[in-house]
Structure 1
Amino acid sequence: MTILYRGMDRAALDAAYLNTKAIPDFPAVLASCQARSAALYNATPGRRDLRYGTRPAQRFDWLSCGQPGAPLFVFIHGGYWQHCAKEDFAYAASGPLARGFDVVLAEYTLAPVASMAEIVAEIGALLDYLAADPDGLGTAQRPIHLSGHSAGGHLTAMHRAHPAVVSALAISPLVDLEPISLCCLNDKLQLTAHEIDTCSPLRHIGPGVPTVVAVGDAELPELIRQAHDYAAACDAAGEPIAHVRLPAMKHFDVLDDLANPHGEMLAVLQAIAPR
């Protein structure tokens, strides 16, 4: 047995990060998420598949809460940078919409078509695009509250210093890519040493916006650790941070809290962040 990271060999690392193996019948869970998302799309005014770049996946959906000049909540889906799409988890927008946010659901090019550095750059390009607002959505100069789940939480943490962003909500964020590079998730990502360093938010805690780091208490221990380590590092650096532990929630359950207008994550975010 070859120990690779924190006492774990390759098989243990695989088990430590494979969220879909940690719950029974993931296909049924995903199908439920997709059905809830389709219902939200049908019930919510907005515009679908607007483009922010030339690659096929460089697109986003804009959903309106119906309030003129509403702040913007940008949500980045997870899937370990290689699976899923914005349509899978759109239902999570229910909570922000009900609390008076317009919502942007972000899509990005997945690995192995895109490298980690390219994926990170795409989210930056989306934020630049929303700030410029060539589509006339009214997003220019509106405060952007950036959020994402899992891989999307990582991408949120990577852009918490973007000039258009006023707050960040990183949900179950993967902030250190070293263990990712040592397990089966790297088969498609093919992370370089440079990417592991520069694209690991835990290694680069710089000045940024008020940030909520959230994780479910029933998630895999490595995800809980990564969220805790990032919150602690931000706090030690004097960054405005709130760490939310969601009781009894697993990796996909946490999005139910975001979809709830009275959920804890949105309450904490609005308590620490400017509107």
Structure 2
Amino acid sequence: MSVHPLHDHPAYTPEFCESGYNNLVRIPDHLDYFSRWASDAALARRGQACQLGLRYGDAPAETLDYFPSRKPGAPLLVFIHGGYWRALDKSCFSWLAPAYVARGAAVAIVGYGLAPATPLEDIARQMLRAHAWLYRHAGELGFDARRIVTSGHSAGGQLTGMLLGARWNEWESGLPAGLISGGLSLSGLFDLEPVAKAPFLANLGLTPDRVRQLSPAYFTPDLPTPLIAAVGGSETPELQRQTSLIAACWPRNVRRTLVVPDCNHLDICDRLADPSEALFGAACELLGL
């Protein structure tokens, strides 16, 4: 009898989980990335047409930044930032937009409330709300509502998985079952059991019941919406296992996995915005560009 992929893993000791998921310890110059991203994001907002702080809900954090395409009826790339649901902000990632706008896409970078003040369940609902709002406003924003591709990094990869499994017509009347046409995860977290056992993430309060509800690997999407799952070749074996795991659990959805060579947990975001990279090509493939 074969072992189910969810049960084929090393022992989840606190030490193992800390080592496998505390990514910034492995990147001594991580503050340099954040500083550069903030600077590049500000430059992108000054040099790119954009609508900032569009409100998709009532909570203070429920806003998104929209970068329109130069062509009407373009596909939309949505990006959900990482930070273990506890850190960073949409404003750090405006620099992702220019390369996709130049290729012919519109881009939306969505914000959400940070944990632990905002529970992960509420963050997932905020992402549902943001995508429903984008779908409803596609006409006035000028993109094709039938071509919404969602991408996310790390915690944003978990949220991307939750969105691909969403039952949209149960969330809000009038929404199509296939509201999202494709997904791209970068270093996604699809089984939260080891995340829950990492001491540095203890304040997330992930009980076994919450792990099951919030782990995309525990459910199967109703539709075969394509997902490309990417991970850096220099990332921890655990993050690489998470990417292999979702491919094993979602064979109908995962078009392929992509290991980005010589790439750590932060480099992978840079590669997403580089037109010479396979990761950029994967996003364009899903966008139909």
Q: Which runs of 5+ in 2 are unaligned?
A: 1-8, 167-177
Check if 1:254 corresponds to 2:268: yes
CA separation of 1:134 and 1:67: change in aligned 2, threshold 3 A = closer
Which deviates the most, 263-272 or 203-212?
Answer: 263-272
CA RMSD of aligned residues (A): 2.0
**Normalised TM-score (structure 1):** 0.91
Match of 1:186 among 201, 213, 224: 201
Q: Distance in 2 between matches of 1:257 and 1:123?
A: 24
Structure 1 position 218, deviation (Å) = 0.4
Q: Secondary structure at the match of 2:53?
A: strand
Aligned to 2:37: 33
What is the 5 A alignment of 1:174-253? 174-206=189-221, 207-235=223-251, 238-253=252-267
Indicate if the aligned counterparts of 2:77 and 2:287 stay in contact, CA closer than 8 A: no
Partner amino acid for 1:178?
E
Which residue identity does 1:202 align to in structure 2?
A
What secondary structure is seen at the aligned counterpart in 2 of 1:29? helix
Q: Secondary structure at the match of 2:141?
A: coil
Shift of 1:141: 2.6
Preserved contact between residue 188 and residue 243 of structure 2 (Cα < 8 Å): yes
- Going from structure 1 to structure 2, the CA distance change for 1:179 and 1:8 (only over 3 Å counts) comes to closer
Deviates more, 1:182-191 or 1:169-178: 182-191
- Scaled by the length of structure 2, the TM-score of the pair is 0.87
Q: Match of 2:173?
A: none
Find the aligned partners of 2:138 and 2:162 in 1 and give their Cα distance: 24
- 2:134 matched residue in structure 1: 130
1:213 is paired with a residue of what secondary structure?
A: strand
2:99 maps to 1:84:
no
- Residue by residue over 1:195-248, the C-alpha shift from the partner in whole angstroms, topping out at 9 and shown as x without a partner, is 21021011112234111100110011111110111123222xx33521111011
1:66 aligns with 70
Please give the alpha-carbon distance, in whole angstroms, between the structure 1 residues aligned to 2:248 and 2:98. Answer: 30
CA contact (8 A) 1:13 1:182 kept: yes
Deviating beyond 4 angstroms after TM superposition, the runs of 4 or more aligned structure 1 residues are: 272-275
Partner residue, 2:182:
167
Task: Return the offset for 1:142.
Answer: 4.2
SS at 1:141's partner residue? strand
Deviation per residue, 1:137-185 (Å, 9 max, x gap): 2347341010011101110111114532101001110000101111124
Distance 1:272 1:73, change over 3 A: closer
Change (3 A) 1:49 1:218: same
Residues 45-99 of structure 1: CA deviation (Å, up to 9, x unaligned): 0100111111111000001231222111100000000111011222223332222
What CA distance in whole angstroms lies between the structure 2 residues aligned with 1:267 and 1:26? Answer: 26
How far 1:42 moved relative to its partner? 1.2
User: 2: CA distance between counterparts of 1:93 and 1:227?
Assistant: 25
Q: How many residues align?
A: 269
- Runs of at least 5 residues in structure 1 that lack an aligned partner in the other structure: none
SS in 2 for 1:56: coil
